[in-house]
């Protein structure tokens, strides 16, 4: 049985809190045991981080860049190994992990390596005075992760933190503790000094201690909206900087003039990729009335043809959900939707694939005849459940797409470029995709508005969240 202990100064450290079992979602087997950190372990990690950060923060951006670039190369070189572990952690398909999760982590490392290399300050002249502004690290930063993209979350948070000269402490989700250790090894092999990337294992109780710790300057959370509220409140006492990457209920608006096949495929991918456990997924699919019947029929036909089962198998398109309680929650939502009057067009049941009978699998599920007031349309389900609605015209679509507390992603499918720009401008969302969905290259900021959170991951904007700007004014 693999033991997951916190990684402090390069060494595994057990805490005094009760152990937590780690299950493989595809079989339900216990494959590892977490020995969660306690406050003493956290104190040690923060002290080690602070010490290591002093030297790291004093290095030039160019020196940091070389190490982050080597980490990007290391992630790519060990993609297969990391992806297999990601499957054991999350239950998602190997094909997704190897083509998306690990490469996007490597891309973030490479992007912030280039930012560290090219980072400059600025200078101002005021007659007989000059002033300059420089970017300084915050000190020790922490990332608290969700369970759906553990490698990506670790890299997207560590890369800008380290590029800006900080030390970084990761608390992975207690449901997915495995890959963090391989990411740590890759960073260490790339030349990152001990103490700059440490792991604190455990659940919300050590998460709370991280928020309260006076030695930690910043927290970046990827998680649910309720957790985001708690983390802000818990971080208030120590006035931490906070970035919140939270949930969503994103709309995808499909016009009759869209390329039909592309629109169908986009709607399916935007709902069933990673078994629907993607924060920006477009779970409210608004289809123009005139094509709705044909569109729903095509969705149902292709959803029924999707193979669900062994996440390691090449021909499987949907793996397992993260846990039994989560699977049951998603199944409950299907029951809620039908009770509220939605039509269960396909799916809705648990599956027991041969050889994986105890795994947490579910059919790709499509609810049609949905209304905006239904819970399945208003609340984040975070599973393979698509809600299909119809709309009459552009204004109707925009108004209803925006009628949500969330604002993470949004999509428009149309051949009319003028309309696409008009709608993209009107949608209240951190990210809008036109004629595609969920593409996140590292140079583009990703994050939400409204209750989906604030702050961004990736892109040049993110470095600001991991640094202070210091201004020096000199009278000549
Ligand atoms: P969660 O909010 O339950 O947990 C997230 C992390 O927060 C975990 O590591 C957990 O241990 C920790 N945590 C929980 N309570 C805490 C507390 N009081 N103090 C400190 N830490 C605490 O979320 P989850 O179930 O792991 O992930 C699913 C959620 O994450 C969904 O809502 C999804 O939309 C969201 N998500 C958002 C993004 C994004 O980029 N916006 C990406 C992926 C997932």
Residue 105: closest CA among 436, 458, 456: 458
pLDDT at 465: 96
Interval between CA 32 and ligand 1 midpoint (Å): 21
Residue bearing the CA closest to ligand 1, atom 39: 245
Reply yes or no on whether 370 is catalytic.
no
d(CA 370, CA 317): 26
The proportion of the chain whose per-residue pLDDT surpasses 70, expressed as a percent, equals 100
DSSP state of 100: I
* pLDDT tens for each residue of 1-54: 789 999 999 999 999 999 999 999 999 999 999 999 999 999 999 999 999 999
* pLDDT tens for each residue of 43-98: 999 999 999 999 999 999 999 999 999 999 999 999 999 999 999 999 999 999 99
CB atoms within 10 A of CB 62: 12
DSSP-assigned states of every residue in 281-296: ---EEEEEGGGHHHHH
Residue 151: closest CA among 103, 220, 200: 103
> Which residue in the block uniquely carries the two structure tokens 């995709």?
433
Span 371-392, average pLDDT: 98
The proportion of the chain whose per-residue pLDDT surpasses 90, expressed as a percent, equals 100
**Catalytic residue (one of 279, 370, 380, 450):** 279
Report the chain's mean pLDDT, rounded to a whole number. Answer: 98
Are the CB atoms for 7 and 199 separated by under 8 Å?
yes
Both structure tokens of 470: 């210091």
Pocket test for ligand 1, best of 176, 223, 382 (most atoms within 8 A of CB): 223
Reply yes or no on whether 457 is catalytic.
yes
pTM tops 0.85 = yes
DSSP state of 91: -
Chain centroid, CA 350 distance in Å: 25
DSSP-assigned states of every residue in 138-153: -SEEEEE--SSSHHHH
d(CA 465, CA 445): 12
pLDDT at 374: 98
DSSP-assigned states of every residue in 133-190: EEEEE-SEEEEE--SSSHHHHHHHHHHHHHHTT-EEEEE--TT--SHHHHHHHHHHHT
222 C-beta closer than 6 A to ligand 1: yes
Q: Is 117 helix (H, G, I), strand (E, B) or coil?
A: helix
First to last CA, the chain: 67
Interval between CA 398 and ligand 1 midpoint (Å): 29
Are the CB atoms for 173 and 150 separated by under 8 Å?
yes
Are the CB atoms for 282 and 253 separated by under 8 Å?
no
Q: Which residues have CB under 8 Å from 131's CB, separation 6+?
A: 123, 124, 471, 472, 473, 474
Are the CB atoms for 290 and 281 separated by under 8 Å?
no
Asked whether residue 395 carries a pLDDT value surpassing 90, the answer given is: yes
Q: Which residues have CB under 8 Å from 378's CB, separation 6+?
A: 249, 372, 404
d(CA 146, CA 141): 17
Q: 350-367 b/e with 16+ CB inside 10 Å = b?
A: ebebeebeebbbbbbbbb
Q: Is 431 helix (H, G, I), strand (E, B) or coil?
A: strand
DSSP-assigned states of every residue in 212-272: H-TT--EEEEES-HHHHHHHHHHHHTTT-EEEEE-----EEEE-TTS-HHHHHHHHHHHHH
Ligand 1 atom closest to residue 144's alpha carbon, by position in its atom list: 9
**Catalytic residue (one of 96, 245, 288, 296):** 245
Reply yes or no on whether 279 is catalytic.
yes
In angstroms, what CA-CA distances link 201 with 75, 143, 218, 222? 22, 12, 18, 16
pLDDT at 1: 79
Span 343-356, average pLDDT: 98
d(CA 31, CA 24): 6
397 C-beta closer than 6 A to ligand 1: no
Q: Is 4 helix (H, G, I), strand (E, B) or coil?
A: strand
* pLDDT tens for each residue of 226-275: 999 999 999 999 999 999 999 999 999 999 999 999 999 999 999 999 99
DSSP state of 295: H
Asked whether residue 318 carries a pLDDT value surpassing 90, the answer given is: yes
Are the CB atoms for 272 and 319 separated by under 8 Å?
no
Span 291-311, average pLDDT: 98
Taking phi first (over 0 means left), then psi (-120 to 50 degrees means alpha), and beta for anything else, what does residue 69 get? alpha
Span 315-341, average pLDDT: 98
d(CA 141, CA 462): 13
Phi, psi of 86 (to 5 degrees): -65, -35
Are the CB atoms for 78 and 182 separated by under 8 Å?
yes
* pLDDT tens for each residue of 411-421: 999 999 999 99
Residue bearing the CA closest to ligand 1, atom 9: 173
Q: Is 421 helix (H, G, I), strand (E, B) or coil?
A: helix
pLDDT at 248: 98
409 C-beta closer than 6 A to ligand 1: no
């Amino acid at each position: 049985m693999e033991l997951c202990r916190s990684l402090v100064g390069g060494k595994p450290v057990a805490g005094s809190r009760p152990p937590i079992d780690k299950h493989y979602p595809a079989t339900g087997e216990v494959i590892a045991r977490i020995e969660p950190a306690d406050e003493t372990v956290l104190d040690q990690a923060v002290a080690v981080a602070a010490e290591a950060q002093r030297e790291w923060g004093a290095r030039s951006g160019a020196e940091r860049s070389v190490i982050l670039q080597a980490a990007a190369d290391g992630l790519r070189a060990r993609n297969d190994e990391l992806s297999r572990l990601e499957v054991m952690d999350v239950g998602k398909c190997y094909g997704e992990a190897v083509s998306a999760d690990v490469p996007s982590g490597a891309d973030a490392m490479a992007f912030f390596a280039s930012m560290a290399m090219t980072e400059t300050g600025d200078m101002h002249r005021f007659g007989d005075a000059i002033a300059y502004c420089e970017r300084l690290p915050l000190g020790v930063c922490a990332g608290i992760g969700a369970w759906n993209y553990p490698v990506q979350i670790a890299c997207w948070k560590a890369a800008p933190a380290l590029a800006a000269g900080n030390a970084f402490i990761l608390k992975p989700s207690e449901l997915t503790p495995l890959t963090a250790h391989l990411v740590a090894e890759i960073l260490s092999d790339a030349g990152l000094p001990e103490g700059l990337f440490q792991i604190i294992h455990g659940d919300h109780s050590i998460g709370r201690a991280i928020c309260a710790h006076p030695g930690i300057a910043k927290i970046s959370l990827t998680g649910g909206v309720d957790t985001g509220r708690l983390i802000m409140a818990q971080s208030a006492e120590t006035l931490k900087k906070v970035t919140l990457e939270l949930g969503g209920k994103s709309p995808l608006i499909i016009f009759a003039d869209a390329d039909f096949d592309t629109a169908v495929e986009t709607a399916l991918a935007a709902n069933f990729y990673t078994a629907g456990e993607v924060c920006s997924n477009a779970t409210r699919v608004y289809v123009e009335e005139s094509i709705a019947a044909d569109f729903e029929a095509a969705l149902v036909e292709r959803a029924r043809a999707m193979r669900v089962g062994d996440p390691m198998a090449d021909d499987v398109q949907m793996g397992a959900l993260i846990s039994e309680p989560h699977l049951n929650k998603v199944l409950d939502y299907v029951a809620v939707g039908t009770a509220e009057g939605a039509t269960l067009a396909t799916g809705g049941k648990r599956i027991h694939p041969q050889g994986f009978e105890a795994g947490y699998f579910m059919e790709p599920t499509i609810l049609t005849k949905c209304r905006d007031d239904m819970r399945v349309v208003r609340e984040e389900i975070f599973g393979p459940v698509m809600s299909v609605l119809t709309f009459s015209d552009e204004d109707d679509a925009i108004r209803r797409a925006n009628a949500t507390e969330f604002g993470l992603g949004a999509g428009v499918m149309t051949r009319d470029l003028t309309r696409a720009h008009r709608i993209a401008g009107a949608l209240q969302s951190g990210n809008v995709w036109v004629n595609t969905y969920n593409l996140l290259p590292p140079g583009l900021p990703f994050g939400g508005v409204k209750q989906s959170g604030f702050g961004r991951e990736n892109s040049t904007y993110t470095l600001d969240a991991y640094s202070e700007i210091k201004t020096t004014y000199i009278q000549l």
